Amino acid sequence: MGNSDESGGPAVRIENLDKYYGAFHALRNIDLSVGQGERIVVCGPSGSGKSTMIRCINRLEQHNGGRITVLGTELNDDVGN
């Protein structure tokens, strides 16, 4: 997969993201697309998963299902530093 600058795709794309803490389903089927240069605000009540989603994008937390793609690179266990 190429860089989003070349393909015109989104800078960040999240598809069907799931994150569990034990039996607790913290993120359920999250979809998000953020274009190059676009700024967004993630808002919601306490405990709604805002920080968890951002930690998954930053790879501070591993997600349990779905796909996260940043600049054309899918973030998974094979992504190096």
Instruction: Please tell me whether residue 6 adopts helix, strand or coil conformation.
Output: helix
Q: What is the mean pLDDT of the chain?
A: 90
Instruction: Please tell me whether residue 41 adopts helix, strand or coil conformation.
Output: coil
Instruction: Please tell me whether residue 22 adopts helix, strand or coil conformation.
Output: coil
Q: Which two tokens stand for residue 28?
A: 């359920």
Cα separations in angstroms, 78 against 32, 71, 74? 22, 16, 9
User: What sign results for the dihedral spanned by CA atoms 42, 44, 49, 52?
Assistant: positive
Mean pLDDT by 10-residue block, N- to C-terminus, for the chain (81 residues)? Answer: 61 98 97 97 96 96 97 82 51
Instruction: Please tell me whether residue 63 adopts helix, strand or coil conformation.
Output: coil
